[in-house]
A and B are shown apart, each in its own frame.
Chain A
Amino acid sequence: MNAFIDFIMGPMVWIAFLIFILGLIFKLVIIIKDVNDRESYIYSYLTLKHSLRSIFAWLIPFFPQSTKQSPVFYSISYIFHLLLFIVPIFLMSHIVLVNEAFQVSWVALDDGLADILTLVVIIALVFFAIRRYTVPEVKYLTSYKDYILILIIALPFITGFLAYHQFFLYKAMVIAHVISGEIMLILIPFSRFSHMIVAPLTRAYMGSEFGNVRHAKDW
């Protein structure tokens, strides 16, 4: 059993992170290559200034009109996306492991706080799932795949929460936590989670079209 744990907490972590990072880089390279080969006109319109203008406008909470019209969704979405990064990166247990492996460490969240934030992430995901099921215009677009995406993100947080509290089946829970986290990382480049890097690009293009050609705001 320890050999298995050693694998999922050792080489498998490397594999997951490499696939995650190289996958995203690969995706980016493919997009750039495709743009060069097939849609190089994009460069005629893309400007750094207007790209950043649009991206930043959309990063400011409740600045774009759309965000003002759906305040509940956006509030939860903002918090969710922030915590999705903050909680795992600043979780003490994770930092301890990184420190043992690489002798680097950084400031950690208080465990109690991290615990609450984890619950917040889970609640946000439950909200997304309920919204998918109840809001007609969202339900219309939803297929089982959308719930699977929610589940993929939810699992590492749920298992992490349960493992931390050592409620039951501790060992199984940690193993599930590690594996589900790795699955999540591996799937990012190959699923719609790749909006992590693609959305800034589509935003940049739309921002450039609006700023550069249309002389209008796109938020």
Chain B
Amino acid sequence: MKPWKRKSINRETKMKQKVIFMGFILFLFTAVVAFSNTELERLDNSVFEKPHRPGAVFEHDDHNEMAEIDDCAVCHHVYENKKLVEDESSEDSFCSDCHFLKANQENLISLEVAYHKQCRDCHFEENKGPVLCGECHIKE
């Protein structure tokens, strides 16, 4: 049977067409969202004056789920007098509250270095996750 030779279309076929059409629209929509700049969840890098690279792609919850991290303090650490304070975490404050744009006497680790080391050192230790510049700083 050759469909293009049919003269009438039954209801069932019409219904199918509607579903396919809606599906197509939905696909387009997700595709547009998926490939638009806003799609990737990136770290907020607005504190840097002139960032050289786009903010690192980081999906907080997915990351922690995959990495099986429950304890916030694993990343959101607290240091006092340059010593790690056990059982305290800092998720309520900004990283930049302690890590300044430029390293100084108070804190030897600049914000940029803090980010890089925080992610990469762990990824190297765990032998998992991205470690190369462009794997996180994906081009926009």
Contacts and interface: CB of A to CB of B under 8 A. Distances in A.
A163 B134 contact: yes
A2 interface: yes
B103 A103 contact: yes
A111 B129 CA distance: 26
CB-CB nearest 9 A-B residue pairs: A2-B127, A174-B132, A6-B124, A166-B139, A166-B134, A170-B134, A3-B127, A2-B131, A100-B113
Contacts of A3: 124, 127
A100 B117 contact: yes
Interface residues of A, number: 20
B135 A99 contact: no
A170 B52 CA distance: 18
Per DSSP, chain A at the interface is helix
Contact of A103 (B52, B108, B112, B123): B108
B128 interface: yes
Interface of B: 52, 103, 108, 112-113, 116-117, 123-124, 126-129, 131-135, 138-139
Contacts of A165: 139
A163 to B, nearest CB: 7
B132 A170 contact: yes
Contacts of A166: 134, 138-139
A2 B128 contact: yes
B116 A96 contact: yes
A163 B112 CA distance: 21
Interface string A69-91: 00000000000000000000000
A103 B134 CA distance: 22
A92 B52 contact: yes
A130 to B, nearest CB: 31
24 contacts: A1-B127, A2-B123, A2-B126, A2-B129, A3-B124, A3-B127, A6-B124, A6-B131, A93-B133, A96-B112, A96-B133, A100-B116, A100-B117, A103-B103, A103-B113, A163-B134, A165-B139, A166-B134, A166-B139, A170-B132, A170-B135, A174-B133, A174-B134, A175-B132
A5 interface: yes
Nearest to B127: A2
Contacts of B138: 166
Contacts of B135: 170-171
A147 to B, nearest CB: 30
B112 A5 contact: no
Nearest to B102: A105
A87 to B, nearest CB: 16
Contact of B52 (A99, A111, A174): A111
